[in-house]
Chains A and B, each alone.
Chain A
Amino acid sequence: MTTRARDTLIGWALLAPAMTLLVAFTHWPALASLIESFYSTARPRRPARFVGTANYEQILADPVFWQAFSNNLLYAAGTIPVSIALAILMAVWVNDRIPGRTFARVAYFTPTVLPMIAVANIWLFFFTPGYGLLEQITGAFGLPSHNWLGSPETALAAVTVVAIWKEAGFFMIFYLAALQAIPPVLAEAASLEGASRWTFFRRVQFPLLMPTTLFVLINAVINAFRMIDQIIVMTRGGPDNATTLVLFYIYQVGFSFWDTAYAAALTVVLLALLGLVAFVQYGILERRVHYR
């Protein structure tokens, strides 16, 4: 055997365990979903049969899907910019030499370490009408009581706030790592030139953080469309589908209504959407991002 052939063989052998898991639990299910989406859901007396694009046509005509989709867009538009901005702000803040910065870093990162279920439960208490923390505060100022998670107008916003609170700390870690990779001597050079803190951030730190921002942005978009645990604990999609997001809707269709074929079609749509987003972000933004 030539060295080259042997290297190839060893390479594949080393890849095999991970590859097996990926194929079994990621690639194959994705492919299976794609195939299943062109069939009808099997019922006790009616086996699955090929229905072509019927499931996809149903999606286009499904008002709940469109509501879930627009909810999801609103949720993404609410969480992504705010959590990224907060993450940068917190990272810049705890990266500077402030007293107690280790404590601040830990404090900001804590929400990320907590399981979403626990986080959601904590916030459920905050939002509880009557005696929740929020009510106690607004009550102290004499404001009327409000059921934040129970009214369609505020439920999605309430869920969004929780997501921001959780995501910002996570993204902060990436920004903090990137900030620490910027040599401190650049800050000194800028301060010699008379640059204010803000100028230094705008002209030096922020541009140098662009690769991180791209990475975080893609993760944030994917997270926004992957969010489900929080919805399950806090609102179960209600009231009146006001907090139904796409993945939660898929879960409902698949495991509450047991319409697996339709759920498969919805899954394919979601996957295609995420793929497109990642492609656009890497394709377009990457060219404008400075890599050292």
Chain B
Amino acid sequence: MKDIAVEGISRRWGEAAAVDDVSFTVAAGTLVALLGPSGCGKSTTLRLIAGLDQPSAGRIRIGGADVTGLPPARRGIAMVFQSYALFPHLSVAENILFGLKVRRVEPAERADRLRRVADMLGLAALLDRKPSQLSGGQQQRVALARAIVAEAAVCLMDEPLSNLDAQLRLEMRREIRALQTRLGMTMIYVTHDQSEAMTMADRIILMRAGRIEQNATPAEIYGRPATGFAGRFVGTPPMNVIPAAAAAGLPGLQPPAGPHTLLLGIRPEAVRLDPAGLPAEVVAAEYLGADTLVETRLGGSPFVARFAGRVEARTGDVLRLGWGPEAAHWFDTGTDRRMN
């Protein structure tokens, strides 16, 4: 088991920095999700750790050893690419064994390891097929098998599930997490899907425009988002972040003292119907079975509420909405930072 330490890495292309002074650590045997919107520098960070790209500044340590200048093959890592990167002319077995052959592993041991991963991932019947003869989910499994068979202590994954359909994604999430735990791999998992990060990761590193917005456990990031951005990015539907003035009339609302102009963040699921609450005009309502999403305007700002079960709300109706004091997240309007 090896840990990973990223120390102040940056990657610039000309003027623009795709990754800007990023530092974090990944404890051995844990799964850390790199989460963020498209273009925020997740892939670049991962490629820097893999050695597929060189940082403009900073160091990378894997298992304590400085690997910053080492080629990818000498870093002791395996990687799963978004496009799987299977060799189209090689069979499933040859794809899985590619690295072992390159590293001159004994044929007997190769066969042994192939059998083990093939059984683990349900590929035993597919070993002679070419990648083009496999479904997306099967190709994904082959890519996974290729990463696992190397028995590297560190595994990097770049949006490995984004080409799969929703059902398969849920299955593979569980499968990857189970494998990671069972094999004790240290894993960095890149995704732009917050639900993937929430369900799989021990810690989430939320990135925005090349910088780390928040590095916390899923529960912390959901419960105490460090910025308004983090609040909106994690959780579905996203947190409502409205000017504090829009909610000024609610009794019991206590903004933190100070000279700042504030934003108030309220999660849709924390909102209740409350006769003493603020008036909100219904714009649209969506019944989802287990709950109902009601889109409203509250003090001029769009505001979404989520109620359990079915709630009768027609466009134009006025609902009275309230929430408990613990549900209020306060952010500074200028810096977006959390204030309470």
Which of A's residues lie within 8 Å of B, judged by CB? 183, 185-186, 188-195, 199, 203-204, 207-208, 290, 292
Contact = CB atoms under 8 A, between A and B. Distances in A.
B201 to A, nearest CB: 23
Given A192-B73, A193-B98, A194-B73, A185 B50 contact: no
A292 B85 contact: no
B79 to A, nearest CB: 5
B24 interface: no
B99 interface: yes
B150 interface: yes
Given A192-B50, A193-B99, A199-B102, A186 B85 contact: yes
A266 B87 CA distance: 47
A193 B85 contact: no
A36 to B, nearest CB: 48
Contact of B89 (A193, A195, A208): A208
Interface string B70-104: 01111001110101010111100000001100110
Interface in B267-286: none
Contact of A193 (B90, B102, B132): B102
Contact of A203 (B77, B78, B88, B98): B98
Interface string B46-87: 000010100000000000000000011110011101010101
A191 B89 contact: no
Interface string B107-145: 000000000000000000000000010000000000000
A207 B87 CA distance: 10
Contact of A192 (B72, B87, B132): B72
A200 B334 CA distance: 52
Contacts of A194: 73-74, 99, 102-103
B85 A188 contact: yes
A183 B84 CA distance: 11
Nearest to B100: A193
Given A199-B102, A203-B98, A191 B52 contact: yes
Given A193-B73, A194-B73, A204-B87, A188 B102 contact: no
A178 to B, nearest CB: 13
Contacts of A185: 81, 83, 85
A292 B79 contact: no
Contacts of B90: 203
Contacts, number: 58
Contacts of A208: 88-89
A237 B119 CA distance: 67
27 contacts: A185-B81, A186-B85, A186-B87, A188-B72, A189-B81, A190-B102, A191-B71, A192-B50, A192-B72, A192-B73, A192-B77, A192-B78, A193-B73, A193-B102, A193-B103, A193-B150, A194-B74, A194-B99, A194-B102, A195-B73, A195-B102, A199-B102, A203-B87, A203-B90, A204-B87, A204-B89, A208-B89
Nearest to A186: B85
A188 to B, nearest CB: 5
Contacts of B132: 292
B81 A191 contact: no
A207 B79 CA distance: 23
A207 B81 contact: no
Contact of B88 (A190, A199, A292): A292
Nearest to B47: A188
B326 to A, nearest CB: 47
Q: Which 5 A-B pairs have the closest CB atoms?
A: A193-B99, A194-B73, A189-B85, A290-B89, A185-B85
A186 B83 CA distance: 10
A13 to B, nearest CB: 38
B13 to A, nearest CB: 14
A33 to B, nearest CB: 42
B198 to A, nearest CB: 28
Nearest to A206: B89
Given A192-B77, A193-B150, 10 more contacts: A183-B83, A185-B81, A185-B85, A191-B72, A192-B50, A193-B99, A193-B103, A194-B102, A203-B90, A204-B89
Nearest to A204: B87
B188 to A, nearest CB: 14
Nearest to A182: B88
A199 B101 CA distance: 10
A192 B83 CA distance: 15
Contacts of B50: 192
Contacts of A193: 73, 98-99, 102-103, 150
A207 B94 CA distance: 14
B102 to A, nearest CB: 5
A191 B90 CA distance: 17
